[in-house]
Amino acid sequence: MALLSGLPRARDLRLYNQRLHRSESGATLRLRGEAEVNGLGDATPSASANQWDRFVAAYIKDYQAHKASHYPVTPKERPREERASPDQYSRWLESLKVVEYASAKRVTTSGFFRGVRTEDVATVARDALDSGALQLRKGWTSLFEMSVPQTCNGRAPLINKISIISVNWSESLIRWSLYLAAERLTHLSASDKASLLDHINDTEIHSNEIHGLNSPQGSSGRLTGNIRTAREKAEHMPAGNNQRAPGAAERQGSEDPLVLYVGDSATDYECFHCADFPIWIGGQSKDSGQSQRFEEIFRPLDNNSMPGGFAPYQIHGSDEVLNSPEMLWCAWAEGLEEVADWLKGTL
């Protein structure tokens, strides 16, 4: 799910100011600093920052070499003219597995995360929230609150379950980011906040991890997990009706869960196809601008070859989304808040 802005994929993660260093006693390796992502610069370059830059450069080199021999279509002067079928696009995404795992192995071999502990991950998340380098998408709390029973009136949750599937390198970082952000909420009663924190603590998160964060001497530095491609994310999708955009009448009386998937990147592509109702978070772009961003994210997919195509409309207040006679492979929303509002009016 696209809940977090600033928790990047393996190739984007920049841990400027996160440096492994020995304490004054020289006894323990620790991780400190803040996660800076999405192109934010480092005011105080360090050896570890330079090392991470080398990881990024190596990833880009691998990617470019891989693209030269595996890209599903002939590159054109105008990228918008590149058109791959859905099958070609799926094979292209899966072919990137070799690049992603080589990157993880490179970082593991370097020992970059050796000695890191769970409390260090929590500190990184806290500092990143403080600095604004890590921001949770507006509306994330609404979705989580809809999945927690209301203590004030005993009302059952509108959403049966929220799961997170991510190619991020650390499940712990995702959970700590959500937990610490929830601790800062001021609009909830003490009992409702406690319920929300308990829920986040127990939320199902499928992601990768830095091995040994809870070990006595900290992490071994090894990166573990096998969720690094679009297909590997889809392998962790929950079972649903396996119907696309089912009509409201068809769903009445059904015991099967309706699986709604929210994503914002190319690695969400296969999950979109597994969900009963997929929603792409496209930001605040309008009309042609939003469609252009969609094309850029999923290039070189030929959207016109998809059943129903991509419908550039907002889901909020639109009955046609669930009752459309023509299957729409992906809907669009500006953000999670719009998704939450739409669900409140639909469920």
Res. 17: pLDDT tops 50:
no
DSSP 43: S
Res. 33: pLDDT tops 60:
no
At residue 190, the pLDDT reads: 92
**Cα torsion through 35, 37, 42, 44, rounded to 10:** 10
Q: Write the burial class of residue 337 (CB in 10 Å: 0-12 exposed, 13-18 middle, 19+ buried).
A: middle
Spell out the domain ranges in the chain: 4-136+168-187+208-230, 237-346
At residue 263, the pLDDT reads: 92
**Would you place residue 284 in the very low, low, confident or very high pLDDT band (cuts 50, 70, 90)?**
low
Q: Which of 249-263, 308-322, 326-340 comes out lowest in average pLDDT?
A: 308-322
Helices then strands, counting H and E runs in the chain, come out as: 13, 12
Range 207-225 average pLDDT = 95
At residue 128, the pLDDT reads: 86
State the average pLDDT for the chain.
Answer: 77
Res. 115: pLDDT tops 60:
yes
Res. 272: pLDDT tops 60:
yes
At residue 239, the pLDDT reads: 73
- At 51, which helix (H) or strand (E)? helix 47-70
At residue 231, the pLDDT reads: 96
At residue 197, the pLDDT reads: 96
Range 123-134 average pLDDT = 87
Q: Which of 10-24, 61-75, 289-303 comes out lowest in average pLDDT?
A: 10-24
* Residue spans of beta strands (DSSP E) within 142-226: 163-165, 204-206, 209-210, 223-224
Q: Which of 123-132, 228-237, 270-279, 324-333 comes out lowest in average pLDDT?
A: 324-333
Higher pLDDT, 82 or 60: 60
**Would you place residue 80 in the very low, low, confident or very high pLDDT band (cuts 50, 70, 90)?**
confident
Two tokens, residue 215: 């070990």
Q: Torsion-angle region of residue 55: left (phi > 0), alpha (psi -120 to 50) or beta? A: alpha
Q: Which of 52-61, 209-218, 254-263, 321-330 comes out lowest in average pLDDT?
A: 321-330
**Would you place residue 93 in the very low, low, confident or very high pLDDT band (cuts 50, 70, 90)?**
very high
Res. 101: pLDDT tops 90:
yes
At residue 77, the pLDDT reads: 72
At residue 316, the pLDDT reads: 56
- Residues near 287 by beta carbon (within 8 Å), at least 6 away in sequence: 312
* Segment of 28-32, 270-274, 342-346 carrying the highest mean pLDDT: 270-274
pTM metric for this prediction: 0.81
